Structure 1
Amino acid sequence: MKKSWLIVGLCSLTVMTACQEDLAKNETYKDSGNTINVNDDRRELYKEHNNGNKSEHFGYVRHQKSPVLGEQMSDNHYTDIDREKVADTISKYCTDLPNVQDAATLVTDEEVLIIYDSDTKDRDLTADQVKKTGMSVVPRWYRVYVSDNFNLRKTMESYSYLDSTSKNAETGIDKLIKEMKKSPQGQPVQDEENANGDVMDIRNRSTNVEKE
Structure 2
Amino acid sequence: MRKELLAAGLCGLLLTGCQDNPKGDNYGGVSHLHPDNRRSEVYGDQANKKRPDVSQRFGYYRHQKSPIMGDRSNAKEMAVLDREQIAKDISRVSTTLPNVNDAAVLVTDEEVLIAYDTDTTNRELTADQVKRTAMSRVPRFFHVYVSDNKNLMRDVETLTSLTTQDEDANEAIAAVIKEMKKSPQGARINASENENGETSDDLKRGMNGGMKR
Whether TM-score is above 0.5 comes out as: yes
Shift of 1:37: 4.9
Change (3 A) 1:125 1:153: same
1:16-165 equivalences under 5 Å are 31=31, 37=34, 39=36, 55-73=55-73, 75-165=75-165
Shift of 1:79: 2.9
Change (3 A) 1:62 1:54: closer
CA deviations on 1:106-141 (whole Å, 9 max, x unpaired) are 000000001110000000000000000000000111
Aligned partner of 1:9 in structure 2 is none
Q: CA RMSD in A?
A: 2.7
Task: Give secondary structure in 2 for the equivalent of 1:63.
Answer: coil
Task: Tell me, yes or no, if the aligned pair for 1:127 and 1:186 is still in contact at 8 Å.
Answer: yes
CA separation in 2, counterparts of 1:107 and 1:38? 34
Gaps of 5+ in 2: 1-12, 21-26, 38-52, 205-213
Greater mean alpha carbon deviation, residues 67-76 or residues 102-111: 67-76
Task: Tell me, yes or no, if the aligned pair for 1:30 and 1:38 is still in contact at 8 Å.
Answer: no
Change (3 A) 1:127 1:71: same
CA deviations on 1:40-64 (whole Å, 9 max, x unpaired) are 8xxxxxxxxxxxx762221101233
How many equivalent residue pairs? 165
Change (3 A) 1:101 1:139: same
Shift of 1:77: 4.1
Shift of 1:200: 2.5
CA deviations on 1:68-102 (whole Å, 9 max, x unpaired) are 11223453143331100000000001001000000
Change (3 A) 1:100 1:54: farther
Q: Does 1:188 align with 2:188?
A: yes
Greater mean alpha carbon deviation, residues 184-193 or residues 73-82: 73-82
Task: Tell me, yes or no, if the aligned pair for 1:38 and 1:60 is still in contact at 8 Å.
Answer: no
CA separation in 1, counterparts of 2:73 and 2:107? 23
Change (3 A) 1:177 1:39: farther
Greater mean alpha carbon deviation, residues 59-68 or residues 85-94: 59-68
Shift of 1:31: 4.1
User: Identity percentage over the alignment?
Assistant: 48
Task: Give secondary structure in 2 for the equivalent of 1:59.
Answer: coil
Gaps of 5+ in 1: 1-11, 20-25, 41-52, 205-212
CA separation in 1, counterparts of 2:139 and 2:120? 28
TM-score, with length taken from structure 2: 0.69
